[in-house]
Structure 1
Amino acid sequence: MGDSINSKSRKIVTGVAIAVCLGIGMLWGAHKMLPGMLAGDRICQGVSVGGYDVGGMTVAEARARLQSRMGECETAPISLRLGDEAWRVSPEEIGTVVDLEAGLRAAFSVGRRGGFCARLVQRRRAARSGIDIPLVVSVDEQRLRDLVFALANVVQVQPADARLVIADDDQVIIEPSSDGRRLDVDELIARLRSTTLSCGVREIDLPVDMVLPSVTTSELGSKGIRCLLGKYTTKFKASNVKRAKNIQLGAAMIDGTILAPGDVFSFNDVVGPRTSERGFMEADIIFNAELVPGIGGGICQVSTTLYNAALLSDLDIVSRVNHSLPISYVPLGRDATVAYGAIDLKIGNNTDHHVLLKANVAKDIITFRIFGDRPEDTTVDVETEVLERIEPGVIEQVNEEFAPGARTMIQNGALGYRVAVWRVVKLGGVETRRELISKDRYKPQPAIVQVGGAAQPLTTP
């Protein structure tokens, strides 16, 4: 039992000894720090402002040390870099102001906040690890944003889509796409704010994002639009200004249309309603086998020219209707009338590649060219066979002002026709397909003759 008592006594003595040593250590530390804590005009050791050591200095000494260095923050330019390009921004441009006094106050307060133990902890941390007080820097937010947005207008580049260019000799050229770039405005503003907190050499890599084009060179090339399939031209009277305007407008609406394999082009869907609100004008149209004024007159010459280009391009004719009367600007059986909401021209892309429809109106001619891909030695011809000529009738109209037996031709008659249209495809000069496209009927136009009235009987008084 005596040994147990002695063991406990030894443990107590050891604990007391450790506590005494710790107490002496704390008193010694306090003794070493106390002069600094009591010296109220000195910044404690280990404190820096904006990376510049001011420990052990008075506020006045620290101010003198920092003023020359902090001036750089308000004057040293900021370099903005993008590859080989660079721009310099003066801090004055964005209204940079360094609040040196705020930094000095924060530095001086280290080791002077809180109770005795808290102050000891602050000073111990400063002495061992150092405490850096960040600079208090402000900028004019509006000037900063204005500068960044102005730079964005210089730096940013819109992406360019790849596009097809048709040369004068009908060669297809792909104009390559190019990537764009967009400046991350918010990120640059944040980086500029952060950079103003440091002095000396200041550089920023501009935060830009790549912007991809909607159509890349490879994507456009994969569509397989490589050569001219077929083209057709018709003439019109440029002096008929309103009709010419309608032709130009309709052609422009179709120009540049691309059809994927299996797509069906609808003339009415693409051109839309022919109304004055959409720019169409009044000109002659064929209605009930007569020429009458109508909005959009001349639009059928657009559909007819496109129809013939499609025939020669060996595209599928899904829907087509001929006029009731022969048309002067194309052979029989080669016309295509349209009427919005009633009669449509539809053309199907029956190839394995995309096809491009190009329209051009110059002076008194309209031309459609269709581009795609097919064997180079392919040729397409269109043949028209007149099956029947239909003689016109004669309509006699009595004119009481004419003498009995007098006859005057008011309108010459015109033949009607029944025709068949064939498409002939040859490969290397050898006919591979002969296809019946249509059988059409055109009404004859009767001759109109005015004749004198019957002779009046004699009367006896």
Structure 2
Amino acid sequence: MKKLKLTVALSLFALTFIMVISGIIIGVVEDRNTFSGNIYINGNNVRGYTVERATKVVEDGIKSKINGININIKYGDKVWTFDESDFEVDDAVKNVVSTAFKNNKFSNKDLINMVTERKDNFTTSVFDIFKDFDKKIDNIIDEIEVEPQNATVSFQPDQKQMFVITPEENGIEVDKQALLNDLKSQFSVSKSIDIDVKTKTIEPQIKANYFDDKLSLQSKFSTSIKNSQAGRRNNVTVALKKINGTVVKPNEIVSFNRLTSPQDASGGYQNAIIILNGVYTNGMGGGICQASTTLYNALVLANLEIEEVHKHTIPVHYVEHALDAMISDGYADLIFKNTSNDDIYIKSFVKGDDAVVEIYGKSLPDGVTIKRVAEETTIPHNGDKVIVDVNGEYANKVLYKGEYYRLKWPEQGYDTTAYKEYYKGDKLIKREEIRHETYQPQQGIVIEGAQELPEGFVLPEQDVTIYPPQSEQ
């Protein structure tokens, strides 16, 4: 009998439990516009609330929170102030309530939550309700932050102090995460919020002492213009002025012709003696090649890479053979490259009778210096060629047979190899060939008159010697 009573009691309890749970389920299913389970929004349990009611409760709570709020963000003597007018509640509340309600769909999980009193929490942060929050914070950061400024050097080759170094300046970076954390934590406990913006110092990459070993005189080379005529001196001077002050960046390639263009009267150049097809003649820009040659040798001594260089058709008087640098706009150029890791600085000028180029930068390591050496053998010339002036082109010089006028001297040729020699102190540590040039021998040219000597006329003694080939001398 007792067993029967116990069985009936258990059956009634089970039936009652099922009816209760079914009622809950039916209630939830029947009213899908209310929250089921323990849903918390900003600390408010909205279980059983409609969306509209939940929205109103959450909205009232936030508006109460921001009523009379005052936020001061400070940095130095700057203050940025915000109050409740900087907040916008409606959209943020709608978003959080909508998100919470989407998670309100009834399922076995919801039933478990109801039985176990499990809570689902949804919140709106200060960042959600602060109008244009990201923009306003970024504007504050922009006003505070300062980019670090590298130390710089100004090259003034014509001044007594050629290099003027502007010191570096540290930068300022806002600790944005610390600012956000501070705002969030104070907002949760107070309506009066004071935030001191935390920053950190950003050091520049290049400081003034970076230049300590990078502005030394690397090389200096000069050639003489003592016997040059006025037009030629002018052209050497103009070309060097155009080069003066050039700063060449690492891996930069530089063209002499580009630096000194236009190589005509509009560029300040004049007519002077030039070499054309192995003959000295008058032409525009004579002397520019001496400027390029002076630069070339300074570049060699500074151990810079030469990409293009050309010899003259005949040797020039102002530099050793195989160390000249002939240029011709549109035809031949002097091109070099800064293969170092640092800038190089070129100073070029005429002083008295000297054309000078100085190159500054970082000196070679371990005190290494460079010297130039040219070694050569001579090639015999073929003597003079006598040309009879049948067309009277040189009638103002010679008229009769046996009268001679020298147009060109015979010149022996040269087979020359130029080297760079590296020294550490007085010790030669390396030698490398940089150029091999052959200057062909030049035949002399003598003009002879074409007319027969009148009867009874005696020519004065001639001062022109006709030279045979050197091999026959």
- Tell me the TM-score normalised to structure 2 length: 0.50
2:294 maps to which residue?
305
Amino acid at match of 1:281: Q
Which of 324, 344, 357 lines up with 1:358 in the alignment?
Answer: 344
1:71 maps to which residue?
67
Q: Does the CA contact (< 8 Å) of 2:255 and 2:334 recur in 1?
A: no
Q: Does the CA contact (< 8 Å) of 1:159 and 1:180 recur in 2?
A: yes
- Is 1:145 the counterpart of 2:138? The answer is no
User: Counterpart of 1:416 in 2: which secondary structure?
Assistant: coil
Q: Does the CA contact (< 8 Å) of 1:52 and 1:66 recur in 2?
A: no
Q: Does the CA contact (< 8 Å) of 1:378 and 1:426 recur in 2?
A: yes
**What does residue range 362-401 of structure 1 map to in structure 2 within 5 Å?**
362-364=348-350, 365-368=356-359, 373=364, 375-376=366-367, 380=371, 382=373, 387=378, 398=392, 399=394
Tell me the distance in 2 between the aligned counterparts of 1:274 and 1:12. 113
- Is 1:281 the counterpart of 2:263? The answer is yes
Amino acid at match of 1:13: V
Label 1:410 to 1:92 Cα distance change in 2 as closer, same or farther (>3 A): farther
Label 1:233 to 1:68 Cα distance change in 2 as closer, same or farther (>3 A): farther
Q: Does the CA contact (< 8 Å) of 1:225 and 1:355 recur in 2?
A: no
Deviation digits for residues 421-456 of structure 1, max 9, x if unmatched?
665666554567787764643765967879796689
Unaligned runs of 5+ in 2: 25-37, 47-54, 105-109, 160-164, 351-355, 456-473
Which of 127, 134, 144 lines up with 2:124 in the alignment?
Answer: 134
Tell me the distance in 2 between the aligned counterparts of 1:292 and 1:240. 14
Tell me the distance in 2 between the aligned counterparts of 1:23 and 1:346. 97
- Is 1:441 the counterpart of 2:452? The answer is no
Which of 72, 82, 95 lines up with 1:91 in the alignment?
Answer: 82
Label 1:157 to 1:395 Cα distance change in 2 as closer, same or farther (>3 A): farther
1:270 maps to which residue?
253
**What does residue range 279-358 of structure 1 map to in structure 2 within 5 Å?**
280-282=262-264, 286-289=275-278, 290=280, 300-301=289-290, 303-309=292-298, 311-312=300-301, 321-327=310-316, 329-338=318-327, 358=344
Q: CA deviation at 1:336?
A: 2.4
Deviation digits for residues 360-414 of structure 1, max 9, x if unmatched?
1344343345755455476635356684796777777535578966999998756
Amino acid at match of 1:416: E
Q: Does the CA contact (< 8 Å) of 1:165 and 1:175 recur in 2?
A: no
Amino acid at match of 1:99: V
- Is 1:18 the counterpart of 2:13? The answer is yes
User: Counterpart of 1:308 in 2: which secondary structure?
Assistant: helix
Amino acid at match of 1:145: K
Q: Does the CA contact (< 8 Å) of 1:176 and 1:216 recur in 2?
A: yes
Tell me the distance in 2 between the aligned counterparts of 1:407 and 1:280. 47
Tell me the distance in 2 between the aligned counterparts of 1:394 and 1:254. 52
Tell me the distance in 2 between the aligned counterparts of 1:375 and 1:441. 37
Deviation digits for residues 279-300 of structure 1, max 9, x if unmatched?
5433576442355767x98764
- Tell me the TM-score normalised to structure 1 length: 0.51
**What does residue range 22-171 of structure 1 map to in structure 2 within 5 Å?**
69-73=65-69, 75-78=70-73, 88-91=79-82, 96-99=86-89, 134=124, 137=129, 139-140=131-132, 145=135, 148=138, 151-152=141-142, 155=145, 157=147, 160=150
User: Counterpart of 2:373 in 1: which secondary structure?
Assistant: strand
Q: CA deviation at 1:334?
A: 2.6
2:460 maps to which residue?
none
Label 1:13 to 1:392 Cα distance change in 2 as closer, same or farther (>3 A): farther
Q: Does the CA contact (< 8 Å) of 2:256 and 2:334 recur in 1?
A: no
Label 1:361 to 1:454 Cα distance change in 2 as closer, same or farther (>3 A): farther
Q: CA deviation at 1:228?
A: 6.7
Label 1:377 to 1:139 Cα distance change in 2 as closer, same or farther (>3 A): closer
Q: Does the CA contact (< 8 Å) of 2:250 and 2:340 recur in 1?
A: no
Q: Does the CA contact (< 8 Å) of 1:402 and 1:452 recur in 2?
A: no
Amino acid at match of 2:439: R
Unaligned runs of 5+ in 1: 30-45, 115-119, 169-173, 259-268
Q: CA deviation at 1:232?
A: 2.4
Label 1:429 to 1:11 Cα distance change in 2 as closer, same or farther (>3 A): same
Label 1:161 to 1:291 Cα distance change in 2 as closer, same or farther (>3 A): farther
Tell me the distance in 2 between the aligned counterparts of 1:156 and 1:97. 29
User: Counterpart of 2:142 in 1: which secondary structure?
Assistant: helix
Label 1:47 to 1:383 Cα distance change in 2 as closer, same or farther (>3 A): closer
- Is 1:255 the counterpart of 2:238? The answer is no
Tell me the distance in 2 between the aligned counterparts of 1:316 and 1:60. 78
C-alpha RMSD over aligned residues: 7.4
Deviation digits for residues 343-372 of structure 1, max 9, x if unmatched?
6768899xxx95768351344343345755
Q: How many aligned positions are there?
A: 402
Label 1:232 to 1:92 Cα distance change in 2 as closer, same or farther (>3 A): farther
1:36 maps to which residue?
none
Label 1:394 to 1:435 Cα distance change in 2 as closer, same or farther (>3 A): farther
1:32 maps to which residue?
none
User: Counterpart of 1:271 in 2: which secondary structure?
Assistant: strand
Tell me the distance in 2 between the aligned counterparts of 1:131 and 1:355. 60
Q: CA deviation at 1:335?
A: 0.8
